[in-house]
A = this chain, B = another copy of it.
Amino acid sequence: MDAKTIYHEILKESNLSATRFRINTLKEIDMAGRPISRNELMEKLGSNTDRVTLYRNLQGLCDAGIIENVDPEGSGYFVMKYGKKAHTQHHLHFECTACKKLYCIHEIVGDISKIPTGFNVKSFYLLAKGTCEACSTKT
């Protein structure tokens, strides 16, 4: 039996069983410190990780409000919802097409209040793509 971690607490508060799979998943997402993709998560958890279980758990953790998918179009980028940096206000995410990292750009925020009436807004995303500094300066 493993020692209790903060992830046990987080899961218990949301009435989710503290399974090894969930603990490890949350640990990796929290460690990353930036939104992490499904594929990167898959690598960190071990390539033998079951794809279905990962999908189901990421969905469940999103539903519970523990993590957030900040780019739900493609294959998703996940981040702890209540981590160090506030991730509440809608801000820009920059995806590097070379290294696939997703950066939070807090300088650019969105204002959904100007959307015309009639539209029932459920979600709102600002997304930019290109290459990050590290990848741009590579030969």
Contacts and interface: CB of A to CB of B under 8 A. Distances in A.
Interface of A: 71, 73-74, 92, 94, 97, 103, 105, 107-108, 110-112, 114-116, 118-133, 136
A121 B115 contact: no
5 contacts: A74-B74, A108-B111, A112-B128, A118-B133, A119-B132
B97 A105 contact: no
Contact of A73 (B71, B94, B97): B71
A128 B108 contact: no
B130 A118 contact: no
Given A105-B115, A108-B111, A131 B127 contact: no
A110 B128 CA distance: 11
Contact of A122 (B73, B97, B124, B126): B97
A125 to B, nearest CB: 5
Contacts of A120: 130-132, 136
A106 B97 CA distance: 27
